[in-house]
Structure 1
């Protein structure tokens, strides 16, 4: 769905929903939108679904689901993309475990280096011990260098990521202004039609 295929009656609710979600760093439950955003609450279910689908496809708003810790049903949350995906949602299982993804899979821990260390057998001769110690030191230095390189890259990428998010936010605000202006234009055209009818 593109802006040109979105019904004009959804322009105002779209702009207001995005404006509201933009101010909510922790996101907002879809169920709360009807009471918080009046124009969204006034829509019928089909129009609400169209609007949510449009938000999801445009990717300015993240539409995510989580399961309440003591519930069975999924809860839908809206969160602005500039805040990214949440690490966790208090009171909810996120991401939710689906039927195709058994709970056992979710609890598997990645293997650690400790079991490999337990398997190391110490050689008897001092020369072999020294050689093994040198190999371990070299491996530790390489691991430390790799971690340092990764940290350096993350520090370099952080400002670029911020610039991208800011640019995306700016584009989104301009798009909102365009939608608002289009809505005003549609209303003016309708008034003109009513006058000339």
Structure 2
């Protein structure tokens, strides 16, 4: 928690521009027995763009998530893919009127799959203690996870080694550590 935010912000500055097709989804998480919603946006390459923990799942919450997402990325996507939650349509019409919106329960699998690392960490940490703690940890965790998520199925062995070495080299630069022998 102490250094993670610093490292994640440095890694965020190094990442290439995300794709122009965004997949959005929300999933519930329990924090001290109360339901909260984790809103997540992922680009077509599977990189997590942004997350937001909120207690509601309505149009106002969706608009807040859209504004936070656009403020952080500073450009508009070509297509947004969501499930059939009506809050997305209301928020999209209000904030991104010129963007194509596709709603389908099957097209949104990329966003659904991106929740898996979060669920694994949530189990390992034995749940989150507060919404603020969840927001801070998950936003940091998603950036660092993006950096080391190498898309192994799309790479040959040589390409995988090169990409992995580049990722660890960038990590050493960000954390200013010496390579281990």
Normalized per residue, the structure richer in helix is 1
Q: Report if TM-score (shorter chain) is over 0.5.
A: no
TM-score of the aligned structures, taking structure 2 as reference length: 0.26
Q: Based on CA coordinates, which of the two structures has the bigger radius of gyration?
A: 1
TM-score of the aligned structures, taking structure 1 as reference length: 0.25
Normalized per residue, the structure richer in strand is 2
